[in-house]
Chain A
Amino acid sequence: DSGVTQTPKHLITATGQRVTLRCSPRSGDLSVYWYQQSLDQGLQFLIQYYNGEERAKGNILERFSAQQFPDLHSELNLSSLELGDSALYFCASSPMGAGGHEQYFGPGTRLTVT
Chain B
Amino acid sequence: QKEVEQDPGPLSVPEGAIVSLNCTYSNSAFQYFMWYRQYSRKGPELLMYTYSSGNKEDGRFTAQVDKSSKYISLFIRDSQPSDSATYLCAAEFYFGTGTSLTVIP
- Which residues of A does B touch, CB under 8 Å? 2, 4, 33, 35, 37, 42-45, 48, 56, 58, 88, 90, 92, 99-108
- Which residues of B does A touch, CB under 8 Å? 31-34, 36, 41-46, 49, 51, 88, 92-98
Q: Which residues of B contact A2 (CB under 8 A)?
A: 43, 45
User: Which residue of B43, B96, B98 is within 8 Å of A105 (Cβ)?
Assistant: B43
Q: List 6 A-B contacts (CB under 8 A).
A: A43-B88, A45-B93, A92-B43, A101-B49, A104-B46, A108-B41
Q: Which residues of B contact A105 (CB under 8 A)?
A: 36, 43-46
Given contacts A101-B34, A101-B49, A101-B51, contact A90 B97 (CB under 8 A): no
Q: How far is the CA of A106 from the CA of B45 in the complex (A)?
A: 9
Q: How far is the CA of A102 from the CA of B36 in the complex (A)?
A: 10
Interchain pairs with CB closer than 8 A, number = 56
Query: Distance (Å) between the CB of A109 and the closest chain B CB?
Result: 11
